Structure 1
Amino acid sequence: MDAGTAARLDRIGTDGKYVIVPMDHGITLGAVKGLTDIESTIDAVTRGGADSVLTQKGIAPRVHENKNDAGYVVHLNASTTIGPDSNDKRMTGTVKEAVRAGADAVSLHVNVGSKYEREQMEDLARVTDEATEYGVPVLAMAYARGPGVDEHDAESLGHAVRFAEEVGSDVVKTAYSGDAESFERVVESTRLPVVIAGGEPEGDRATLEAVRGAMDAGAAGVSMGRSIFQHDDPEAIARAVSAVVHDGRSAEDALREAGLAVEA
């Protein structure tokens, strides 16, 4: 890894661990809760301890003054929930555009196992090649998705994260398999730092127990969107997630220390 990529990778995490809050969902879902006034949400989650935030390039002017010196990732592809197929992610930007927008890193979503896998593999290969020219790290959001694919199966997730490494990524995000024992197989499938997605919010304790399980399995952190930015108190939940990732707290201790209700 060249010096520029390593330096920028440090900006989106802390000591090799990552609490990234993606907020690119406006292009996918529209201006949902937490994204209408995205400035306030960015301020809250970064005050709470998020290492970096992630948006599409057009939101960059709303990011920089509100991120409290956190890192910034620009996402480079997308789809919408009202389009014909949400798995069909199309390019929305380039590494050069991301650099102009002030990004420290770029990210790309790939659905391994979908009928769009071939095109998304080619897109990721182009992005990693261009990113190398600029010394910019690449976060691959590599999911196991497609006909007959179990999105939480450890073997499929392990294939997805290895896919990301083989194509030249620097960090890989994927779904959590549901327990620490099975997720160890996912982490062992690659030498890349593995971070877990949040998925649909299921309550604070469930969220933090998933983070704790992933960290116990050897994960490097989270890239967690809706569970954080749609929370009634984004700053508090970001603080709790950060406590699990960076300070090794249990779910219960992290909830208590963040001032959130400790659910039964």
Structure 2
Amino acid sequence: MDTSKIINLLGEEGEFLLQHTCKTIDKSLIHTPSPSVIDDIWINSDRNIQTLNNLQRLLGNGRLANTGYVSILPVDQDIEHTAGASFAPNPIYFDPENIVKLAIEGGCNAVASTFGILGSVARKYAHKIPFLVKLNHNELLTYPNSYNQIMFGTVKEAWNMGAAAVGATIYFGSGESRRQLIEVSEAFEYAHELGMATVLWCYLRNNEFKKDNVDYHAAADLTGQANHLGVTIKADIVKQKLPENNGGFTAIKFGKIHQKMYTELATEHPIDLCRYQVANNYMGRVGLINSGGESHGASDLKDAVFTAVVNKRAGGMGLISGRKAFQRPMKDGVELLHTIQDVYLDPEITIA
């Protein structure tokens, strides 16, 4: 896809995103994704050789191979949102093999899913596409539901099935977040010891994060701090929702702030808000992948391109998009994934 097609998909928002110059945190301060990211950044860390090997394995697969960017297919919504709600639009994905096939046909760097899904086809596919095994979930059958992530398996189990990486979620802000923080940090330490990369879903969950009919679960200041906690426990990649607003700390009257967070380090522009998230990832040393979000039907292609352009121009590492891809026929899902990847392959779309 050439840039003109991306502009057409973005419509009236094309110039708003593609011509934006970030005047908050200068691009010269950001460690941008590149083909030599392992040598430039990770070689200086304490990650062992096998972990670097698996990071490179993940970065070296799919249509974005050796660009420094990633496109990942995540399918854990069958646990998080119920299998029926997730797969009813396209029942072929009740079969785990079709999930892996979509990731391969879609040119993804990796497929992220549950122990059960990936384990059921591991011998056939673990050497064909990097597996990212999700360690914990918030299963939706406990009533009343709570904001709690529990371990569904062990790091060793993921290693035994040939996984290149493990992933986990922490619900920062929830009553269970400190227990999850300890569990996940210990799991990540062991994963690194065994040589696997680590990916953290740094999500916020607390009913008090909604004030005066405004939802701050995707506020730049709150998500930025969640990211910073994630990189503190050695996530190699952080998954976060694209910022939708800012000023969560001030609205909730919670936490500590400096006014420059809002006056100098961010504006209301989506790229500047995302840049603040990247800054909290050690200025991009740890890659930021933004989530694709739920499927809205006809607008999915535009929404996915919007998110990809914002992420890339902010200094992010890529996109992790699931429902927009698997809740439609496989051919259309492949097209959507390729369209996302085309944004990262386009040399004319650069960091703002």
Normalising by structure 1, report the TM-score: 0.88
Per the alignment, residue 114 of structure 1 pairs with 174
Distance 1:94 1:243 in 2: 36
CA contact 2:136–2:150 (8 Å) conserved in 1: yes
Distance 1:243 1:155 in 2: 30
Q: Does 2:83 correspond to 1:30?
A: yes
Report how far residue 153 of structure 1 moved: 0.4
Per the alignment, residue 133 of structure 2 pairs with 74
Q: Deviations over 1:59-90 (max 9, x none)?
A: 22225535782211100001223323252110
Q: Deviations over 1:160-200 (max 9, x none)?
A: 11111111211110100141121111101113101011221
Per the alignment, residue 53 of structure 1 pairs with 111
Count matched residues.
250
Q: Does 2:287 correspond to 1:193?
A: yes
**CA 1:62–1:26 in 2, change beyond 3 Å: closer, same or farther?**
farther
1:243-262 to 2 correspondences below 5 Å: 243-248=342-347
**CA 1:143–1:133 in 2, change beyond 3 Å: closer, same or farther?**
same
Paired residue for 2:186, among 126, 143, 147? 126
Q: Does 2:153 correspond to 1:93?
A: yes
Distance 2:346 2:122 in 1: 26
CA contact 1:187–1:218 (8 Å) conserved in 2: yes
CA contact 1:11–1:70 (8 Å) conserved in 2: no
- Superposition CA RMSD, Å: 1.9
Structure 1 counterpart SS, 2:308: helix
Q: Does 2:270 correspond to 1:212?
A: no
Report how far residue 45 of structure 1 moved: 2.9
* Identity value in percent: 24
Paired residue for 1:235, among 318, 322, 334? 334
AA matched with 1:81: L
Range 222-231 or range 159-168, more displaced: 222-231
AA matched with 1:227: K
AA matched with 1:42: V
CA contact 1:193–1:219 (8 Å) conserved in 2: yes
1:125-164 to 2 correspondences below 5 Å: 125-149=185-209, 150-164=216-230
Distance 2:170 2:137 in 1: 10
AA matched with 2:313: D
Per the alignment, residue 222 of structure 1 pairs with 319
Gaps of 5+ in 1: 251-264
Q: Does 2:35 correspond to 1:8?
A: no
AA matched with 1:74: V
| Greater Rg by CA | 2
CA contact 2:289–2:320 (8 Å) conserved in 1: yes
AA matched with 1:95: V
CA contact 1:47–1:68 (8 Å) conserved in 2: no
Structure 2 counterpart SS, 1:169: coil
CA contact 2:48–2:193 (8 Å) conserved in 1: no
Range 76-85 or range 188-197, more displaced: 76-85
Structure 2 counterpart SS, 1:199: coil
Per the alignment, residue 41 of structure 2 pairs with none
CA contact 1:18–1:51 (8 Å) conserved in 2: yes
